């Protein structure tokens, strides 16, 4: 079996498992509430932190001084 074929089969199995898990979670209200709670927690916790880091890194990569550095230079 070629590596490419093995990867395609593995991807198909993983996709089927993900769809099956999603179906079970969707059909079971306690699991659905837990999944929604975890989704909300991840979006409200890690997403803003990630965006903040990305903005800081982009600002540093642009080579412009930070606002506090520019005020000190004036």
pLDDT, tens digit, for every residue of 36-59? 999 999 888 888 898 999 999 999
pLDDT tens digits along 14-42: 999 999 999 999 999 999 999 999 999 98
Whole-number mean pLDDT of the chain? Answer: 88
In this predicted structure, the answer to whether residue 70 has a pLDDT above a threshold of 60 is: no
46's enclosing H/E stretch is helix 29-62
Exposure letters 44-65 (e unless 16+ CB within 10 A, then b):
eeeeeeeeeeeeeeeeeeeeee
């Amino acid at each position: 079996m070629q590596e490419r074929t093995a990867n395609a089969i593995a991807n198909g199995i993983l996709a089927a498992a993900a769809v099956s898990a999603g179906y079970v979670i969707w059909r079971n209200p306690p699991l659905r509430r837990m999944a929604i709670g975890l989704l909300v927690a991840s979006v409200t916790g890690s997403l803003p932190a990630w965006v903040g880091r990305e903005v800081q890194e982009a600002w540093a990569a642009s080579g412009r001084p930070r606002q506090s550095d520019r005020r000190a230079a004036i």
